[in-house]
Structure 1
């Protein structure tokens, strides 16, 4: 039935149609198909012509059969959109439409079906719908509404969210003046009015954080944004958004309040507080830390590491500490460290370093807290020294008490014995001898008491004020006072002290010390050479060290070293030796916070080093 010339001509024309077209008869069999249709669905005319449409497209439902049957009856309805998977399983959407197919006698012999690929437009429509849903959802979450104002008809429209922000009913109809009236009187209302004016006159968009008074009387922070709308360069209205930011603003206010409170607390702590990042750079410091490091404000220290602030050794030590804390995640608590800043000032701190952890449990910095215990350490040292001095004084007092008891008991026993002899002696000559012995014992007792009083005075007068004394001049004065003694013994005094050098001492003690060492150096001279005493002074840390060297008999330190400065200890058979000089001298030196050292060799001489404490 398709072989006559007229049919063949019609078929040729259908093949060239630019659309996807197919002709079916009343039994749903495909009679004609355009080349584009065949190409799209991967068919060829020999394999498809005469076959049922539903054999080729089994996914077409019963609904389409009903639509096509109605078409055969003269009711051409659209078939709608149908999904299709090609040979590569790519999903496509096609819009199917049909119309009645008439023959020359105007009889319906089938249907003409045209197909349009609407995949792209449908995807865009779905994407647009999805975007609309997302925007609506986002708008609801962010509490952001829309509004528009049409100048031509003086109409303003609010979306549901905008109405909800203003706490008005859904059927509320806003006006321009009432919309502005919602803004809080004062700054907010003036600001929005000025923004609208600027937009109208200059085309300037706006976005401002303001306050409104809702319909229920509640104050609320909002972010009002808008811009002008133009048509053919003519202003036709405004459009914008309206966001409820009350919770954020109040949260920010509360956060800033807490931050200020925390900052006030940190800045007024009697501790050095700082925070460092992973590279040991400071990102927060408190007032005490700024004060210690000599910074005017926090900005001078932020971003600086240990090497920017401390000397190299201190910076190296602190950096190693930081790395250890952040790598091991173990804090350092209450560790005593000595810090030296770039000005060379040393400070003792009790330091704690605590790692700062991120959400993954890794260290991204540390918090440091340091307590300056320099004064505490100094007080501790002073207390220790005081305890040592007290202990020493106690030992001295006990020793002094024993000596007093022993010496006075000896003198008392001697007096008692002599008086007993005197009582029973009848010979006048013997009585005279006993009286001489009593006079001698009385003199010895007075000398003992004087020596004991001198020692007691030294040990009790601990608060005598020290003064700056020119040592060179003082040696010259002592030398002048001992002139006759020096000449008598043909002695030489070599004063190597610089004439400008001074020491801080109790003046009367210094003179006594010099006299004692110089006279001892001459008194215990070597019989084969004339005595020579040499004096010189040097500085050593917190001490001024006076060195006094003689060329006399010397002392056997192995034999007498531990007794050298004892009371009534003598080491040479000199008629004037009493064993009190070195004892008193040592007490005088120690009462001034100093110390004494000795070096000696028998037959060669002795060197005494007197350490005068310049600090205390």
Structure 2
């Protein structure tokens, strides 16, 4: 029976749900529950009969002292201890020690119960850590909390809430006091309405409002709150208050700086844009919008040059972008030509500057473009003016040499004839010399008239071009030269359409027609009837008057550079003076035109006179 009782007792102990061990007075393990064995991964063969200090070598020393006091009949207090297992895992246990009595109330050992509370301890530690972090964040972010109990009508403020309101630690606010701290007007009305709606309808709130602290400081705060319910019954309010004064001031300053910068950028006389790594525009100013013909920057944001310009221009721009983005090197002061999709051509002085992030990586580029189309136009005009001035200077020097030479020749001729006249006694010879003097005088007058006409052409800038019906002008020249043409049995073919119009100075055009027709007849081929043909054509926006003859022709390889020179002749013709083509060329150039010549010796010459429609 006794053995049966022992076995029954051991069976019951093994079924105890919490880890339990029975120790004798030598603190040796006599009995143990299955949960004790499983918890500490014991082997039953090596467990019973061993001292507890051997079984649990990692147990704290104070636990043995508690057990020894239990042997004297003193109940041990509960304790929480940390154990580190052989595999270096941390475990927390709550232990209790109770004296073990026999039926005669004699202490025969200790009953040790151990409960694994690792999960609970870890949660408590995590909660404490969270609380510490929240408190630190609340201090850093100046966030305070508050709670209102609807039954006791008590409002509780945390230390940070008191600090924001600048009240002492023993200050006890009411719900009305809390509302009174909000600045009179919009802020107080807004918080009053929010609290009322929360109490009546359960609606939470989050408002950015102003409060006036106990010392009179105006502070911007973000106030939040929501109602609390228990079993569907309203029991109070809970919320936070965050001091955002500095952040608000910083944001306001930042906004002001951004607005100032935007105003400056928008009013710069430059096209300004920022592109990302894919060359998409992420910022543009008003000048860039105006150039691309849009009223809103949103119409350009996110677009690449391929969507705004023709492909060639877009590809050139992309290649420049890639150079800047890949090398982190700016392109400064580069002259570029931009052609929009509508065909507008603009000359820019452009710069592209890489933008770097905090890590020194390129994240985009800043583009600056100044429209220099007007400057390029003025540069072109200045270059043309310099060219014209250079040509005019050469003409002037040449003209001066010619005038000097011709007048010197006439002067020498006069001087020689007068010497002959003064020393000649014979009357007949004197009369012959006087005749020669008259001829010399006529030649001098002709020379002076020619020189005067050249000067008039080059100095008369007030004469305006007008629309002249070319067919009619040629007909008028034929009428003027009718006797001359008839006497030389010459033919003029006017093949110009009646509707053809050329912008020209009428008097110059008449002179040009007469000169070319006269030359075509004067330098006729001796073996054929002289013919002069006049026609009209258009070439590249210019009116072209074409005059061809079947005369002697000119060796252009030999005389081409002298063809329109002053007093240059190319045929042994008694009436050749070398002034007609020179005057004609000056008249054409005075109308912003040019003369193109082609000729074959023995066959004839073709002159093409080009005049710009808009000139």
TMscore range, shorter length: over 0.9
Instruction: Tell me what 1:194 maps to.
Output: 193
For residue 88 of structure 1, report the CA deviation from its aligned partner. Answer: 4.1
Q: Deviations over 1:25-63 (max 9, x none)?
A: 122111111122112222233321111011111122331
Instruction: Tell me what 1:424 maps to.
Output: 423
**75 and 573 in structure 1: CA distance in 2 versus 1, 3 angstrom threshold:** same
For residue 12 of structure 1, report the CA deviation from its aligned partner. Answer: 2.1
Matches of 1:365 and 1:295, distance apart in 2: 23
Instruction: Tell me what 2:490 maps to.
Output: 491
Q: 1:1-20 maps to which residues of 2 (within 5 A)?
A: 4-20=3-19
Instruction: Tell me what 1:132 maps to.
Output: 131
**267 and 502 in structure 1: CA distance in 2 versus 1, 3 angstrom threshold:** farther
Instruction: Tell me what 1:231 maps to.
Output: 230
TM-score by length of 1: 0.96
Instruction: Tell me what 2:503 maps to.
Output: 504
Instruction: Tell me what 1:468 maps to.
Output: 467
For residue 146 of structure 1, report the CA deviation from its aligned partner. Answer: 0.5
Is 1:32–1:49's contact at 8 Å kept on the other side of the alignment?
yes
Q: Are 1:282 and 2:281 counterparts?
A: yes
Q: Which runs of 4+ in 1 moved over 6 A?
A: none
**609 and 166 in structure 1: CA distance in 2 versus 1, 3 angstrom threshold:** same
Q: Are 1:577 and 2:576 counterparts?
A: yes
Matches of 2:486 and 2:195, distance apart in 1: 113
For residue 3 of structure 1, report the CA deviation from its aligned partner. Answer: 7.4
SS at match of 2:417: helix
Instruction: Tell me what 1:84 maps to.
Output: 83
Is 1:78–1:97's contact at 8 Å kept on the other side of the alignment?
yes
For residue 127 of structure 1, report the CA deviation from its aligned partner. Answer: 0.9
Instruction: Tell me what 1:298 maps to.
Output: 297
Instruction: Tell me what 1:250 maps to.
Output: 249
**212 and 437 in structure 1: CA distance in 2 versus 1, 3 angstrom threshold:** same
Q: Deviations over 1:294-327 (max 9, x none)?
A: 1112122111111111112111111111112111
TM-score by length of 2: 0.96
SS at match of 2:99: strand
Instruction: Tell me what 1:445 maps to.
Output: 444
Deviates more, 1:60-69 or 1:110-119: 60-69
For residue 559 of structure 1, report the CA deviation from its aligned partner. Answer: 1.8
Instruction: Tell me what 1:559 maps to.
Output: 558
Instruction: Tell me what 1:107 maps to.
Output: 106
For residue 530 of structure 1, report the CA deviation from its aligned partner. Answer: 2.3
Is 1:33–1:45's contact at 8 Å kept on the other side of the alignment?
no
Instruction: Tell me what 1:94 maps to.
Output: 93
Matches of 2:255 and 2:535, distance apart in 1: 69
Instruction: Tell me what 1:606 maps to.
Output: 605
SS at match of 1:567: coil
**558 and 62 in structure 1: CA distance in 2 versus 1, 3 angstrom threshold:** closer
For residue 587 of structure 1, report the CA deviation from its aligned partner. Answer: 1.1
For residue 466 of structure 1, report the CA deviation from its aligned partner. Answer: 2.4
Q: Deviations over 1:552-607 (max 9, x none)?
A: 11001122122211111111122221110110111112222222221111011112
Deviates more, 1:381-390 or 1:586-595: 586-595
Q: 1:196-345 maps to which residues of 2 (within 5 A)?
A: 196-345=195-344
Q: Are 1:594 and 2:593 counterparts?
A: yes
Matches of 1:318 and 1:534, distance apart in 2: 53
Is 1:472–1:501's contact at 8 Å kept on the other side of the alignment?
yes
Instruction: Tell me what 1:58 maps to.
Output: 57
Deviates more, 1:556-565 or 1:481-490: 481-490
Is 2:20–2:33's contact at 8 Å kept on the other side of the alignment?
yes
Matches of 2:22 and 2:138, distance apart in 1: 50
Gaps of 5+ in 2: none
Deviates more, 1:540-549 or 1:278-287: 540-549
For residue 109 of structure 1, report the CA deviation from its aligned partner. Answer: 1.2
**249 and 476 in structure 1: CA distance in 2 versus 1, 3 angstrom threshold:** farther
Gaps of 5+ in 1: none
For residue 288 of structure 1, report the CA deviation from its aligned partner. Answer: 1.2
Instruction: Tell me what 1:147 maps to.
Output: 146
Aligned length, in residue pairs: 615
**202 and 489 in structure 1: CA distance in 2 versus 1, 3 angstrom threshold:** farther
**600 and 119 in structure 1: CA distance in 2 versus 1, 3 angstrom threshold:** same
Matches of 1:141 and 1:495, distance apart in 2: 99
**487 and 307 in structure 1: CA distance in 2 versus 1, 3 angstrom threshold:** farther
Deviates more, 1:160-169 or 1:357-366: 357-366
**367 and 473 in structure 1: CA distance in 2 versus 1, 3 angstrom threshold:** farther
Is 1:67–1:79's contact at 8 Å kept on the other side of the alignment?
no
Deviates more, 1:128-137 or 1:538-547: 538-547
Is 2:19–2:33's contact at 8 Å kept on the other side of the alignment?
yes
Matches of 2:464 and 2:164, distance apart in 1: 83
Q: Deviations over 1:273-296 (max 9, x none)?
A: 111111111111111111111111
Is 2:546–2:609's contact at 8 Å kept on the other side of the alignment?
yes
Q: Are 1:519 and 2:518 counterparts?
A: yes
Q: Deviations over 1:63-117 (max 9, x none)?
A: 1122112222222122412223445443322111121211011111111111111
**426 and 371 in structure 1: CA distance in 2 versus 1, 3 angstrom threshold:** same
Is 1:207–1:225's contact at 8 Å kept on the other side of the alignment?
yes
SS at match of 1:454: helix
SS at match of 1:27: coil
